[in-house]
Amino acid sequence: MAKRRAAGSCCCCPMKEDNARFCLLAGLILLYLLCGAAIFSALEHPFELRARLLWKQQLDNFTRRYRVNLGALHTLLRQYEEANGAGIRVDALRPRWDFSGAFYFVGTVVSTIGFGMTTPATIAGKIFLIFYGLIGCAATILFFNLFLERIITMLAYIMRWCHERRLRCAGVGVVSSREESSGEEDSLEGWKPSVYYVMLILGIASVVIACSASTLYSSMENWSYVDSLYFCFVAFSTIGFGDLVSSQRQQYESQEAYRFGNCLFILMGVCCIYSLFNVISIVIKQTLNWILGKLVCSGKPKRIKRNAVQPISSHHRYTDGSVETVCDSETDAGALAEVQVGRRLSGEMISVNEFMVSNKVSLALLQKQLSETAHQGPRQSYSHQNGFSGGVGALGIMNNRLQETSVDR
């Protein structure tokens, strides 16, 4: 009973750490919003005041010159705003709801860009959009996550290939090491690219795509290069203000090639930026853990481990939302379970794959397992005697229950 009370008291520690991390992140985001609002207000508010004054002067000059009633002019302008919402512009633009225009619209819906230049006007269209976007956005987010996993796997293959090439150039055989893997040719165990390396690769790819797309947009849309870069970030990050939208004029030179290139650039840019945001969120989480460690446990030493992103390979198996990694020859299963639990408690950066899978784990099961495997050291001594392994996830909790029963007997 005493052990169970101790486990219950220790179970609150992960919850307190999560609550502290959540409150710290919420406070930092609020501070970030306040600073951003102050900066943008200082930059844009004077321009807004000048634009309002200029518009008032233009209205006064127009009414005096053409002797038009100001109220009637305002009525006409309101009617134009309604027509503008339906896609009517003064300049000739491409049709909004032919097949190509509708395809461009659904692309902005499922990618969550939502430029806003085209919106459904009928009740049936609005209702259909709700269900269509619900499924389409979820499927597209899954596609982005799988894209990130493929990037990590590709980097792991490249690292292994470069290593084997260096061995061949040095005259060292690689066949023997492949035979020792006992038929596991596609194993990527040990080839784990650093999360900072993945962030660098994605950042470089995003910059290259944005610069190439900006060159295309500045020549085809007659935008400045800065406006083109601005549009690329707004579109690739799925912010989608809609003040600048590509491929909207009725005619272009090499129109079909330009529209294909526009869709290709947006697809690649959204994939890279979304993956980059995921990796940066891991770095932010690691920074929050470091700040909490300094605030709460400033005097407690911590072990420094290599931050790595786990590639996709046959050496991973998923059990109830937790990730188990096959042990190396020098590491037994108990040490691996202790390392995995220690990583979560110490706040060390986990892999992108583990970060995605961990969101599906039940919080109650995870806290119970952490408290029982990390805070009750003596339990590991008799686990080997009874033949029960520590395990990870729900399997670890069941093994701990079997250990308690065997010890009580």
Give residue 119's identity as a one-letter amino acid code.
T
CA distances to 38, 45, 55, 60, 242 from 41, in Å: 5, 5, 20, 28, 20
Displacement of CA 135 from its chain's centroid (Å)? 19
Dihedral (Cα; 35, 37, 40, 41), 10-degree rounding = -120
pLDDT per residue as tens digits for the range 210-255: 999 999 999 999 999 999 999 999 999 999 998 899 988 888 888 8
pLDDT of residue 31: 94
pLDDT of amino acid 183: 46
- pLDDT category at 170 given cuts 50, 70, 90 is confident
pLDDT at 357 over 90: no
Residue 98 has pLDDT above 90, yes or no: no
Q: Are 270 and 113 in contact (CB under 8 A)?
A: yes
Cα gap 204→275, rounded to integer Å: 12
Tell me the pLDDT tens digit for each residue of 27-79: 999 999 999 999 999 999 999 999 999 999 999 999 989 888 888 888 998 98
Helix (H, G, I), strand (E, B) or coil at 321: coil
The torsion of the CA quartet 6, 11, 12, 13, rounded to 10 degrees, works out to: 100
pLDDT average, residue stretch 386-398: 46
Per the rule left: phi > 0, alpha: psi between -120 and 50, beta: everything else, 301 is beta
Read off the pLDDT band of 338 (50, 70, 90). very low
Please count the other Cβ atoms lying within 10 Å of the Cβ belonging to residue 108: 20
Q: How confident is the model at residue 88 (pLDDT cuts 50, 70, 90)?
A: confident
Cα dist from 314 to 75, 166, 286, 318, 357, whole Å: 67, 25, 27, 11, 16
Distance CA 31, CA 37 (A): 10
Q: 204 with 193: CB under 8 angstroms?
A: no
**Using CB atoms within 10 A of its CB, is residue 273 exposed (0-12), middle (13-18) or buried (19+)?**
buried
Amino acid letter, 380: Q
Average pLDDT of the chain is 75
244 touches 230 (CB < 8 A)? yes
In this structure, what token pair is assigned to residue 173?
A: 């055989």
Q: What Rg do the C-alpha atoms of the chain give, in angstroms?
A: 29
Choose the weakest-confidence range: 145-149, 288-292, 373-377, 400-404. Answer: 373-377
How confident is the model over 261-275, as pLDDT tens digits? 999 999 999 999 999
Classify 349 as helix, strand or coil.
coil
Q: Rounded to whole angstroms, how far apart are CA atoms 192 and 144? A: 20
